[in-house]
């Protein structure tokens, strides 16, 4: 089945408003890895030697994916620096006029990696999919900029967009925030900070397979791979989840200063007592993402707090599938779902 046919099949959602499921194209049940993903996470012969020692440089170099620019419209892209040190990249369709709604996008990378370049193609595609601008933020990375520096950079970015909306061609009353993985964490914690400070700039948020519970060292029931309900490739998926979890402690060491309480809601937003003040939220995650269970916990807590919450599960997918724009139709579909959700809320 070719890419375009798979993309068409992904327009169909199973389930209900509690949990929308996008099946692997060609399948009608859950529990199966996408073939492309299976090939990517199946250990190769060289892997039998065991993983090398994890270094910051090695981890940063591994960020991102050789994705493709599949935008159909001409996208104007400009680069700016604000506050003297925070780079931003601004995207909007060449043919767009007037003040646009905006998605402020925060890249993933475990708080220590990632860049504007890593999410360039996803941001182009977001701008391509609707009448909306996208502003990508290059917040300070750990360990050089430990918590809360990256979070504060993100809030400053939102405030800057609001205050400079006219010159940016932005409707300041239509600001959304979105991010993947660590960027998803920073999206919801930036929104919580926005509410705590009473500024209320952010009107919608999209959390793409966000890490929302730190300090548990890849252990416990929220890292229990058996709860992902695998029907095949159990060993492959279980080992993938374990390998991901093994890095959790190191990520916290890079991100948090010694002695910082990881249950702080600006680090682990599932612990926030102020979730009820959050705007409409979309959460999307892969079926076999190691972070799926903590995302589902967040969905439950948001709904208990009466926050309008849309939850989409992409079957057969793992963590960071958004990076594979142009190769995985699920990545393109995710960008379209993001834009549709944001515009529905903002308009």
Q: Is 319 a catalytic residue?
A: yes
Contact 125, 325 (CB under 8 A): yes
Q: Which of 252, 289, 323, 333 is catalytic?
A: 289
In angstroms, the Cα distances linking 257 to 10, 93, 245 are 42, 41, 20
Q: Which of 107, 121, 271, 319 is catalytic?
A: 319
* CA quadruple 105, 110, 113, 119: dihedral sign: negative
Alpha-carbon distance of 38 to 240, in angstroms, equals 10
Q: Which of 181, 187, 268, 272 is catalytic?
A: 181
Burial of 313 (0-12, 13-18, 19+ CB in 10 A): buried
Alpha-carbon distance of 3 to 328, in angstroms, equals 8
Q: Is 59 a catalytic residue?
A: no
Half-sphere exposure (Cβ direction) of 85: Cα atoms closer than 13 Å:
10
Three-state secondary structure call for residue 97 = coil
Contact 317, 288 (CB under 8 A): yes
Q: What are phi and psi of 81, to 5 degrees?
A: -130, 130
Q: Is 181 a catalytic residue?
A: yes
Residue in 96, 97, 116 with CA at minimum distance from that of residue 107:
116
Kindly list the catalytic residues: 181, 289, 319
């Amino acid at each position: 089945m070719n890419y375009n046919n798979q993309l068409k099949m992904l327009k169909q959602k199973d389930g209900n408003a509690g949990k929308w499921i996008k099946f692997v194209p060609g399948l009608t049940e859950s529990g199966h890895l996408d073939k492309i993903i299976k090939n990517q996470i199946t250990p190769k012969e060289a892997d039998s030697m065991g993983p090398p020692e994890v270094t910051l440089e090695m981890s940063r170099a591994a960020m991102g994916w050789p994705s493709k620019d599949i935008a159909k419209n001409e996208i104007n892209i400009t680069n700016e620096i604000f506050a003297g040190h925070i780079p931003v990249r601004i995207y909007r369709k060449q043919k767009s006029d007037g003040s646009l709604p905006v998605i402020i996008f925060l890249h993933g990378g475990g708080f220590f990696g990632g860049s504007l370049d890593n999410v360039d193609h996803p941001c182009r595609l977001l701008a391509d999919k609707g009448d909306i601008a996208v502003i990508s933020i290059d917040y300070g990375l750990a360990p050089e900029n430990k918590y809360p520096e990256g979070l504060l950079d993100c809030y400053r970015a939102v405030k800057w967009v609001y205050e400079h909306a006219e010159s940016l061609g932005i409707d300041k009353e239509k600001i959304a925030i979105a991010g993947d993985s660590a960027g998803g964490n920073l999206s919801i914690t930036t929104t919580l900070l926005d509410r705590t400070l009473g500024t209320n700039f952010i009107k919608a948020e999209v959390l793409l397979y966000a890490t929302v519970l730190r300090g548990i060292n890849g252990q416990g029931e929220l890292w229990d791979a058996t709860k992902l309900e695998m029907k095949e490739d159990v060993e492959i998926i279980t080992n993938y989840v374990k390998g991901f979890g093994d890095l959790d402690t190191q990520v916290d060491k890079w991100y948090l200063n010694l002695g910082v309480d990881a249950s702080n809601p600006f680090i682990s937003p599932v612990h926030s007592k102020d979730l009820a003040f959050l705007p409409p939220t979309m959460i999307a995650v892969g079926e076999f993402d190691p972070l799926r269970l903590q995302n589902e916990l967040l969905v439950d807590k948001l709904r208990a707090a009466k926050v309008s919450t849309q939850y989409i599960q992409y079957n057969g997918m793992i963590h960071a599938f958004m990076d594979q724009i142009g190769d995985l139709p699920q990545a393109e579909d995710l960008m379209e779902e993001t834009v549709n959700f944001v515009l529905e809320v903002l308009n």
